[in-house]
Structure 1
Amino acid sequence: MNEVWTGLRTDLEGGWEVISMGGPAIWAIAALSVITLALILWKAWRLALLGAWNGGRRTRRAVEQWGAGQETEALALVEGRRSCRARLVRAAMRARRDFDDAAAQAETERVARALLARARTGLRPLELIATIAPLLGLLGTVLGMIAAFQALQEAGSRADPAALAGGIWEALLTTAAGMAVAIPASMALTWFESVADRLRHEMEDAATRIFLRPLAVEPISQAA
């Protein structure tokens, strides 16, 4: 057990030494890596709350019942459901029954825009991190190379190639760190965008199917 703790402590000390070699840029990239991980976990949790992973079987069944003329049963299926599909379908069904076609479509579009905005919340910060992390790494590399060549100039004919090589790899460390943060951020961004696009397509399809079927009852606005 002592050997394990000793090895872990050695690894941590080595990691801190590597971070300290990169200068301010590597600290900024390390902070971005923590923010990226937090954003990915938070976004996955938010999408889970919006029902992105549940498949929407209940919502599809509600739309099928609506298409069969079972409006009350269809509304009961999505009543109280928190997924974005169920919320949109519930809003479309209620708007379809309570308003005329133009007003119902406007209300459904309003709800759909709000739900899609919630589904895409947090994507812009991930996009920003995927963009600036490599730039921070490049900035750290440029600053490190400048320092290395300044040291080489000051050393003159007594310059040590090994010291120059050490300065160069320390400078390149920030570029590698920036790419290590940008790659998972870009992958997560692409994945979350694909999930949001799939949700948008499914919501549009459900709303269209609801509006295509004529109502079995007269809208309240007309009955009034």
Structure 2
Amino acid sequence: MWGQSVTELFQRGGPVMWPLLGCSILAVALIAERLVVYRRLRVAYQALLTDLQSRIEDGSLGQLVDRLGGSQRPLHRVVVAYLRHRDAEKAFRDQVVLREASQQVARYDRRLNWLGILTHATPLLGLLGTVAGLVGAFHQIELKGGQVQPGDLASGIWSALLTTVCGLTIALPCLAAYHLLQSVAGRAALQMQWVASQLDEWLSGANVSREETGDPEATSSSGRRCRRWIRYPGNVGRRFRSNSVR
């Protein structure tokens, strides 16, 4: 690049290049760690909804709780928290689900603040290196009594600007990764809201059906409702958010 190797550019950038190098290594490690964690926490959302629907229809929610009870995936933890308290008062159940969801969302947000700090810190470090380099360049001009060639001044400025370029080169991918990871975390939080809202809808429908028919196995109306909500999970999210605003 610019007729010089990466090593030569690093040396010309001065001492500020070392903390910038450390920031770049830390950023790569943070992004890689978050991607691995997010992949491990991911759940097939639509498959989970289908499983919940069939369990509600055949009355085997207890088996589902036993199967998911040992899972550490956030969406599974929220579902288990809901189902274990499905017969409790709604206000209490909502508190339990909200507490569990908050703990699970925190797992997604963990260490993202460090990536945000790097996004803001690396351009400032680069600017610091540029300012320090310019101070050194003009100090050399002063020592020479102002008798310098334009090429000498350009060389000093060129070297000083390298740190700004390096800082921005690190900050831009960090910024993109930060917002991408935030969107993944936000999507996971919405899925927790959606599944809790859908369980409210399905189980209340099943209870109404039982009361109307007097048959604990009568769940056909709740099954139809399940299928309707499964096709349009986004409606649940919009309804949940609008209720929150009100």
5 Å-filtered alignment, 1:155-174, equals 155-174=144-163
> CA deviation digits over 1:158-189, x for unaligned, max 9?
30221211111110000000001100100000
Name the structure 2 match of 1:138.
Answer: 127
Evaluate the alpha carbon distance shift between residue 19 and residue 68 of structure 1 in structure 2; reply closer, same or farther with a 3 A threshold.
Answer: same
Residue type at the aligned position of 1:199: A
> CA deviation digits over 1:1-45, x for unaligned, max 9?
xxxxxxxxxx9x943332222222211111100000000000111
Give yes or no for contact 1:62–1:78 (8 Å, CA) kept in 2: no
Q: More relative contact order in 1 or in 2 (CA 8 Å, sep 6+)?
A: 1
- Cα RMSD of the aligned pairs, angstroms, is 2.3
The partner residue of 1:193 within 173, 182, 188 is: 182
CA distance in 2, matches of 1:198, 1:48: 13
The partner residue of 1:75 within 39, 57, 65 is: 65
Give yes or no for contact 1:62–1:73 (8 Å, CA) kept in 2: no
Name structure 1 gaps, 5 residues minimum. Answer: 1-10, 218-224
Q: Report percent identity of matched pairs.
A: 28
Would you say 1:86 and 2:98 are equivalent positions?
A: no
> CA deviation digits over 1:87-121, x for unaligned, max 9?
21111111213x32222111111100000000111
Name the structure 2 match of 1:211.
Answer: 200
Would you say 1:96 and 2:96 are equivalent positions?
A: no
CA distance in 2, matches of 1:78, 1:62: 12
Name structure 2 gaps, 5 residues minimum. Answer: 211-246
Shift of 1:79: 4.2
Residue type at the aligned position of 1:39: L
Name the structure 2 match of 1:33.
Answer: 24
CA distance in 2, matches of 1:93, 1:170: 63
> CA deviation digits over 1:107-139, x for unaligned, max 9?
111100000000111110000000010011011
CA distance in 2, matches of 1:87, 1:59: 12
Tell me the TM-score normalised to structure 1 length.
0.82
Name the structure 2 match of 1:8.
Answer: none
Name the structure 1 match of 2:13.
Answer: 22
Tell me the TM-score normalised to structure 2 length.
0.75
Name the structure 1 match of 2:225.
Answer: none
Deviates more, 1:16-25 or 1:37-46: 16-25
Evaluate the alpha carbon distance shift between residue 157 and residue 78 of structure 1 in structure 2; reply closer, same or farther with a 3 A threshold.
Answer: closer
Shift of 1:156: 2.8
